[in-house]
Structure 1
Amino acid sequence: MKKKLWMIFGPVIVAVAALLILLWTPINFKTVTPEKVNQAATSLDARVLKGENIKNTAEEENYIPIIGSSELSRMDPFHPSSMAQKYHWKNQPFLLGNPGTASLTQAMNVSGMTKLKNKKAVFIISPQWFTKKGARDDAFKFYFSPLQMTGFIENSDHGNKDLNQYIAKRILQLGISKGPIEDDSLRRIAAGQKITSFEKFYVKNIARSSLQSQDNLFGSAFLNNHQGRIDKATSKLPDDYNYKNLDKLAVKMAKHHSRENDLQIGDSFYRKELNHRISKYRNSHTKADYLHSPEYADFEALLYMFKQNHVQVMFVIQPVNPNWIKYTGMPKSALYNFDKKIKYQLTSQGFNNIVDLTHVKNQNYIAEDTIHMGWRGWLILDKKLQPYYKDKHADPSQTQYHMDNYFLTDTWTNDTDF
Structure 2
Amino acid sequence: MRKRLWQILGPVVCAALLVVPVLALTPTSIQHKLKTEKSDAVSLSKQVFKSKLKKERALTDNKQNFVPFFGSSEWSRMDAFHPSVLAEAYNRNYTPFLLGQKGAASMTHFFSMNQVSSAMQNKKAIYFVSPQWFTKAGANKGAFQSYFSNGELVAFLKSATSSAYDRYAAKRLLKLYPQVPLKGMVKKIAKGQALSSLDKAQLSFQSSLIAKEDSLFDKFSVSLSYKSKIGNQAASLPKQFSYDSLMQLATAQGKKESSNNRFGIKNDFYSRRVASNLTKLADSQKQFNYLSSSEYSDLQLVLKEFAKNNTNVLFVIPPVNSKWASYTGLSQSMYRKAVAKIKYQLQSQGFTHIADLSEEGDKSYFMQDTIHLGWNGWLAMDKYVNPFLSNKQTTPTYTINDQFLDKTWAKYTGQPEAFTQK
Question: TM-score scaled by structure 2?
Answer: 0.90
For 1:382-393, list aligned pairs within 5 A. Answer: 382-390=382-390
Tell me if structure 1 keeps the 8 A contact 2:138–2:294.
Answer: yes
C-alpha separation between the residues in 2 aligned to 1:144 and 1:70?
17
Match of 1:267 in 2: 267
Tell me if structure 1 keeps the 8 A contact 2:247–2:376.
Answer: yes
Match of 1:347 in 2: 347
Do residues 172 (structure 1) and 174 (structure 2) align? yes
* Structure 1 gap ranges (5+): 1-8
Tell me if structure 1 keeps the 8 A contact 2:321–2:362.
Answer: no
1:350-406: per-residue Cα shift (whole Å, max 9, x none)? 111000000238622111010111111101111222222225x8642x2x1121221
Tell me if structure 2 keeps the 8 A contact 1:141–1:176.
Answer: no
Structure 1 vs Structure 2 CA RMSD = 2.1
C-alpha separation between the residues in 2 aligned to 1:271 and 1:390?
39
Alpha carbons of 1:127 and 1:10: their partners in 2 closer, same or farther (altered >3 Å)? Answer: closer
Q: CA deviation at 1:67?
A: 0.8
Q: How many aligned positions are there?
A: 402
Q: CA deviation at 1:128?
A: 1.3
Question: TM-score scaled by structure 1?
Answer: 0.91
Do residues 111 (structure 1) and 110 (structure 2) align? no
The amino acid across from 1:240 in the alignment is Q
Match of 1:211 in 2: 210
The amino acid across from 2:74 in the alignment is E
1:109-151: per-residue Cα shift (whole Å, max 9, x none)? 1111221110000000111111000111111111112101111
C-alpha separation between the residues in 1 aligned to 2:13 and 2:393?
51
Do residues 297 (structure 1) and 294 (structure 2) align? no
Identity of aligned residues (%): 35
The amino acid across from 1:270 in the alignment is Y
C-alpha separation between the residues in 1 aligned to 2:179 and 2:361?
47
Q: Which has the higher contact order (CA 8 A, sep 6+)?
A: 1
Alpha carbons of 1:127 and 1:226: their partners in 2 closer, same or farther (altered >3 Å)? Answer: farther
For 1:292-371, list aligned pairs within 5 A. Answer: 292-360=292-360, 363-371=363-371
- Greater shift, 218-227 or 192-201, is seen at 218-227
Q: CA deviation at 1:227?
A: 3.5
C-alpha separation between the residues in 1 aligned to 2:67 and 2:394?
14
Do residues 75 (structure 1) and 75 (structure 2) align? no
Equivalent position SS for 2:238: coil
1:248-299: per-residue Cα shift (whole Å, max 9, x none)? 2111110000000010000011111111111111111112210011111111
Equivalent position SS for 1:389: helix
- Greater shift, 258-267 or 219-228, is seen at 219-228
Alpha carbons of 1:232 and 1:27: their partners in 2 closer, same or farther (altered >3 Å)? Answer: closer
C-alpha separation between the residues in 2 aligned to 1:12 and 1:166?
39
For 1:9-408, list aligned pairs within 5 A. Answer: 16-23=16-23, 27-28=27-28, 33-61=33-61, 62-113=65-116, 114-157=118-161, 161-179=163-181, 182-204=182-204, 206-219=205-218, 221-225=221-225, 227-360=227-360, 363-390=363-390, 395-396=394-395, 398=396, 400-408=397-405
Alpha carbons of 1:293 and 1:11: their partners in 2 closer, same or farther (altered >3 Å)? Answer: closer
The amino acid across from 1:64 in the alignment is V
C-alpha separation between the residues in 2 aligned to 1:29 and 1:352?
37
Tell me if structure 1 keeps the 8 A contact 2:134–2:290.
Answer: yes
Runs of 4+ in 1 over 6 A off after TM superposition: 9-15
The amino acid across from 1:90 in the alignment is N
Tell me if structure 2 keeps the 8 A contact 1:297–1:407.
Answer: yes
Equivalent position SS for 2:390: coil
The amino acid across from 1:167 in the alignment is A
Tell me if structure 1 keeps the 8 A contact 2:32–2:58.
Answer: no
Tell me if structure 2 keeps the 8 A contact 1:129–1:295.
Answer: yes
Equivalent position SS for 2:250: helix
C-alpha separation between the residues in 1 aligned to 2:350 and 2:411?
22
1:190-219: per-residue Cα shift (whole Å, max 9, x none)? 001111111011112x11111111112214
The amino acid across from 2:354 in the alignment is I
Equivalent position SS for 1:245: helix
C-alpha separation between the residues in 2 aligned to 1:122 and 1:30?
24
The amino acid across from 2:234 in the alignment is T
Alpha carbons of 1:126 and 1:227: their partners in 2 closer, same or farther (altered >3 Å)? Answer: farther
